[in-house]
Structure 1
Amino acid sequence: MTRTLILGGTAWLGRELAEQLVAKGKDVTVLARGVSGTAPQGATFVASDRRLPGAYDQVKNVDWDEVIELSYARDLVEGALEALSNRTKHWTLVSSVSVYEGNDEPGASEDAKLVAPTDLDDYAHAKVVAEQITQLAVGDRLLIARPGLIAGPGDTSDRFSYWVSRFALAANGNVLVPQTEGRYVQFIDVRDLAAWVLDAGFRGLTGTYNVVGSERNFSDVLLSAAKVAGYTGEFIAADDVWLKEQDVNYWAGPHSLPLWLPLDDAAFAQRSGERFKAAGGSERSLEQTLEDVLTDERARGLDRVRRSGLSRTEELVLLQKISESGKN
């Protein structure tokens, strides 16, 4: 029986990986502090703080078929490699398309230039270093998965889920949107990402892959989200200059319009996924992901405090400003 160790398997992607392994009847062990959640029933849970001495004592003397590393902190990555790499048949590192230096080349492949890592407090820089040190330790046993935007039920980042939940909350009221011309959305459902990572590990696949879905026009994503939500109101579009004057942020975080990117960075959502598809990668439909996300969002509360986006109150203030200025 295939023996898999997930380093961090109680939060979103990690738990999805563990759940899918359990469903397949596989032997899966999850090593984590357990702060972000619990391991699924059927998985072996090893509670361990990876920054403490002896963190890997319960798992280091096992011959693992697969280790899946989700962290990008250098000390955690190095510690795991030192303790486990010599007794592991195949190693998967989940990285990110954020490692690329530029976001101005549509269709850029895995061979695009990476950022020069000079600041390990920066997410992209830390991911590059994680890739480099893992490659040195594991060599030709390594699979590097570089997902882009991850979407699906259970997402706590509130990026992709913002729009379908906002349309559902607004019902027939106006919704503020950015200008969408020349902008794109590219996501991979967490369930599809996990399924591919596991299958690739079982097959012993190695190399580097952009695990990304299809490139979609931002406008099409908004229209699909509105349809799934049963939205009957009106989109009120504001230009970049005005939104920035109102301190509305790009992409994610508080007081933002999620998935909205500067035009100079539009190709961040246009990465090539050809290598991923050729290696068996697949994606469910946009509508299916949106429907499942909306079900999850309704369960969590459409008007809850979110990590990304505008509150409905903030949005209505901005819409009122637009109305008073005659911009729309």
Structure 2
Amino acid sequence: MSDRVLVLGGTGWVGRLVAQAWVERGARVTVLARGDRPAPAGADLVVADRSEPGAYDAVDDVEWDEIVDISSSPGHVAQAASALGERAAHATYISSVSVYAEADRPGADERAAVVEPLGDGEPYDYARAKVACEHAAAALAVRVAVIRPGLIVGPGDPTDRFGYWPARFATATTESVLVPEAAGLRAQVIDVDDLVAFIVSSGARGFDGVLDAVGESHPLGHVLDLARDAAGHTGEVHAAPADWLERHGVAHWAGPRSLPLWLPAEVRGFAARSGAAYRAAGGGIRPLSETIARVLQDERARGVSRSRSSGLERAEELALIESFVAGR
């Protein structure tokens, strides 16, 4: 008999890929979501709003072999645990390395302290919400895997962070590109297909515990060089110091008018976490060059020059380069 798998929210990016991977494994998969998007091929869709009473009524009479939850809402996870906790043999909660209280020590692992969980009625904070979700997820099943991914990248990424760099180098071709001065900075990503493969395989074998799903930590300059080489960029690269970028209103990490992947020097441990437990548990890490090639192909298909949710618009970047070259 095939596994019965329930993916809560399985129509977005990561959740959808998890549901698809379980289908390909031969499982009978149900996804519970608001219905804004179709279910993955081969999966059944249950339309429900997790904020509403009775959201799990259509799935609480099934004995599930696996439940996967990725929500960042503690209330959603707690309600799912209350409704389904006695119906699952195993559960996987997909959290984040953002839960850790400190990010200044390279090589830190799962034993590091996490932030305080978000309390009822407190202003929303992503890291604290994820910790509260982890606590709630402990009641989803007798055996629960808490997977804390690093920055998830790959084809279809809706955040536009990692894809900014190969796309920007591809857009610029022979023209100039602005990058942050990268000395001492690092980047650490996990390819979405590697993460999904691990989520499914660890769920199938009933992995019980907490681990950081992170790839290799690389010097940021090396990552940018790989992206530039993949895109075939031959123009100038202008590396601006952190203080200059901050003075000119360029943000770290993500969002509008940012340089994605660039982090403040004081959080040097965020992109340099230990992945030893992930690798020991069978987690795969493909070469970074392969991930960049996959991302660039996806970016070309979606349009390398499109406006995106993270990074500099090309006109903004060119104006900044002009100021930088002029010494302003």
TM over 0.5: yes
1:123 aligns with 2:132: no
**Paired residues of 2:89 and 2:141 also in contact (CA < 8 A):** no
CA distance in 2, matches of 1:140, 1:98: 25
The secondary structure found in structure 1 opposite 2:86 is helix
Correspondences of 1:51-200 after superposition (within 5 Å): 51-118=51-118, 119=122, 121-135=124-138, 137-138=139-140, 140-200=142-202
CA distance in 1, matches of 2:125, 2:35: 25
Q: CA deviation at 1:133?
A: 2.2
Corresponding residue for residue 208 of structure 1: 210
Corresponding residue for residue 17 of structure 1: 18
Q: CA deviation at 1:120?
A: 5.2
The secondary structure found in structure 2 opposite 1:60 is coil
Correspondences of 1:209-248 after superposition (within 5 Å): 209-248=211-250
**Paired residues of 2:86 and 2:141 also in contact (CA < 8 A):** no
Q: Which has the higher helix share?
A: 1
Give TM-score scaled by structure 1 length: 0.96
CA distance in 1, matches of 2:249, 2:278: 37
Corresponding residue for residue 270 of structure 2: 268
2:228 partner amino acid? A
Correspondences of 1:247-286 after superposition (within 5 Å): 247-286=249-288
CA distance in 2, matches of 1:87, 1:23: 23
The secondary structure found in structure 1 opposite 2:7 is strand
Q: CA deviation at 1:93?
A: 0.5
The secondary structure found in structure 1 opposite 2:67 is strand
The secondary structure found in structure 2 opposite 1:64 is coil
Corresponding residue for residue 322 of structure 2: 320
1:319 partner amino acid? I
Per-residue CA deviations over 1:37-87 (Å, capped at 9, x if unaligned) read 321111111111111122111100000000001102011111100110111
1:265 partner amino acid? V
Corresponding residue for residue 27 of structure 1: 28
Which blocks of at least 5 consecutive residues in structure 1 are unaligned?
none
Per-residue CA deviations over 1:238-295 (Å, capped at 9, x if unaligned) read 0011100011000000000000000001110011110010000011111111111111
2:245 partner amino acid? L
CA distance in 1, matches of 2:145, 2:259: 34
2:148 partner amino acid? R
**Paired residues of 2:67 and 2:92 also in contact (CA < 8 A):** yes
**Paired residues of 1:185 and 1:218 also in contact (CA < 8 A):** yes
Identity of aligned residues (%): 48
**Paired residues of 1:161 and 1:293 also in contact (CA < 8 A):** yes
**Paired residues of 1:120 and 1:126 also in contact (CA < 8 A):** no
**Paired residues of 1:28 and 1:43 also in contact (CA < 8 A):** yes
